[in-house]
Amino acid sequence: MIASRLRTILGAVAAVIALVLLGQYLIGKLAKPERIDIQVIIKSTDKNIEFWQVMKDGIEVATNEFGPSVEVTGSRSDADIDGQIALVEQAIEKKPDAIILAANDINRLVPAVEEGAKRGIRFFIVDSGINSDIAESVIATDNIKAGQAAGMEMLRHLDGPGKIAIINYVQTAASLIDRERGVRLMLEGRKDIELMDTFNAAGSETNAYQMAKQVLEDNPDVRGIIGLNEPTTVGAARAIKEMGRQGQVKLIGFDSSVNEIKLLEEEAMQATVIQKPFQMGYLSIKTAVEAFQDKKVPKVIDTGSLVITKQNMYDEENQKLLFPFYDK
């Protein structure tokens, strides 16, 4: 009888201990959830392009704040589409919780992304998307609107009729496709403007320089050039300055590198449409983490753009955007 009672008491004590341990385990899991594993794949790791370095800073700040495990990779250049596809495939094999992608090609990345989604990986887009609705959220500039702003600035600075050239960087990137579309929406159909076919720099600042130089040599009546990103803008500026056409040929660019700021100061460039790469990087991580916390996240987050000229570049708020911190 006593032995039976003792066994019952011991059994009850063991059950209580087990429940206490289980409760502690569950509380610990709730208090300290497992870290979310995120793979970020950007267009380029070229350190000469400040846009991606600033975006990486935003990613780092958000990673420290929200606590996921994050690895950032990127292809050698924006034009290295095969390399980026390989990076997506490699990331999928690591079985992360999520992949954040800045796509180099609107169509060719689709099969790899769809394969990842089939395996249960959640996708988010930053900067430049793909021809698919798989991404839970797209964190980017409204590039059509930004392109229209560039076109409007060109109209504002032109001092007579003439030809306008557009230099693209990678023709297959969604961000640049939309940017060109915005420019053309603003400039096409005007009687005093002949909008030339777009020139493709194929992911090279040197190509942009050579193309701009050739365009100016072959077309003395060119009155303006629009570069759709940092390298195309800087390359076109080199050609304009070298040929002594500074001020005569109006240059409207994109982004806010140190070189472009100098171009504004020298009046070799009349305006640049700046994006907010730090915010893109930061919000892409924040949004992915919130999605895993079952919070409702916006399908599209427009990080905004702003026209910067020599006249407004010294404004305090604009200085903060022009000189974000990053490690070279």
In terms of domains, do 153 and 252 share one? yes
For 7-30, b/e burial (b = at least 16 CB within 10 A) is eeeeeeeeeeeeeeeeeeeeeeee
Is-above-0.75 flag for pTM?
yes
DSSP state, 230?
A: H
Instruction: Decide: helix, strand or coil at residue 253.
Output: strand
In terms of domains, do 269 and 280 share one? no
Question: What is the C-alpha separation between 169 and 230, in angstroms, rounded?
Answer: 9
Strand order in the sheet with 98-101: 69-74, 37-42, 98-101, 122-126, 138-140, 300-302
Q: What is the pLDDT of residues 94-137, one digit of tens each?
A: 999 999 999 999 999 999 999 999 999 999 999 999 999 999 99
Which CATH number covers residue 129? 3.40.50.2300
Total domain count, the chain = 2
Question: What is the C-alpha separation between 212 and 235, in angstroms, rounded?
Answer: 8
In terms of domains, do 129 and 211 share one? no
Q: By residue range, what is the domain housing residue 234?
A: 143-274
DSSP of 134-177: --S-EEE--HHHHHHHHHHHHHHH--S-EEEEEEES-TT-HHHH
Q: What is the pLDDT of residues 256-302, one digit of tens each?
A: 889 999 999 999 999 999 999 999 999 999 999 999 999 999 999 99
Instruction: Decide: helix, strand or coil at residue 319.
Output: helix
